[in-house]
Amino acid sequence: MRYKTKDIGEGGIDLRVAVTAAWLAAECPDASLGLTKAGMCLEGRLEPAGEGYLLRGTLRGELLVPCARCLEPAPVAVESPVDVTFVEASGDTGANAQETQEDVVSFEHGTIDLGRPLRDEILLAVPMGPVCRPDCAGICPACGRNRNLTPCDCDTRALETSKFGVLAKIKLQ
Ligand SMILES: [Zn+2]
Ligand SMILES: [Zn+2]
């Protein structure tokens, strides 16, 4: 995901960067993300703009995100525009000052790394509370079974009792 500015040249280059499951696991270790067969890909163009370089493209594909109810992987279609400016860090004025600006990423040594902005875009694309299907029954809080797969008839009063029972035992110890 690294590009040398000398290879980008005056005319810019077209990009097609495939996101791999291994990369996702390394870059977003806490998000438990996966990919479906549809995969995920950033397509766009990286070209000189003013003092820096502009990446314009689209991140498109399908992510697997843990379902908020049953924790099974839920497919989430992603199609987000990507618009990032890369500015070369120059000595003291450096990365920090420039990066306070949104969608501006600094680079050094003539090498632009798409990894970080790509990771940010992917994490932004993950919805809050995704569900594997609208009527997902979730995990039974009493027996811990995935109720989509194994319907159970635990009643909630039993749950309350066992929950408080456990708490009471802990307190007594
Ligand atoms: Zn679910
Ligand atoms: Zn149950």
In this prediction, residue 94 carries a pLDDT of 47
Contacts 24+ apart (CB under 8 A), 147-156: 147/70, 148/70, 148/72
Q: Any idea which ligand is nearest the CA of 158?
A: 2
pLDDT band at 27 (very low <50, low <70, confident <90, very high): very high
Ligand 1 centre distance from Cα of residue 104 (Å): 37
The edge-to-edge listing of strands for the beta sheet with 34-49 is 13-19, 34-49, 52-66, 73-88, 104-107
Phi, psi dihedral angles at 105 (to 5 degrees): -125, 135
In this prediction, residue 100 carries a pLDDT of 54
Instruction: Please check whether residue 159 is in contact with residue 141, taking contact to mean a CB–CB distance below 8 angstroms.
Output: yes
pLDDT digits (tens, 9 = 90+) for 69-91: 999 999 999 999 999 999 998 76
Work out the number of other CB atoms within 10 angstroms of the CB of residue 93: 11
Phi, psi dihedral angles at 140 (to 5 degrees): -70, 125
pLDDT of 46 higher than 90 = yes
Q: Any idea which ligand is nearest the CA of 65?
A: 1
In this prediction, residue 163 carries a pLDDT of 54
Average pLDDT on 86-114 reads: 76
- Ligand 1 (ion): residues with CB under 5 Å are 67, 69-70, 132, 136
pLDDT of 111 higher than 70 = yes
Ligand 2 centre distance from Cα of residue 138 (Å): 10
pTM of the prediction? 0.76
pLDDT band at 171 (very low <50, low <70, confident <90, very high): low
**Mean pLDDT, the chain, as a whole number?**
86
Q: Any idea which ligand is nearest the CA of 155?
A: 2
pLDDT of 99 higher than 80 = no
In this prediction, residue 157 carries a pLDDT of 63
pLDDT, greater one: 95 or 59: 59
Strands (E), the chain: 2-4, 13-19, 34-49, 52-66, 73-88, 104-107, 111-113
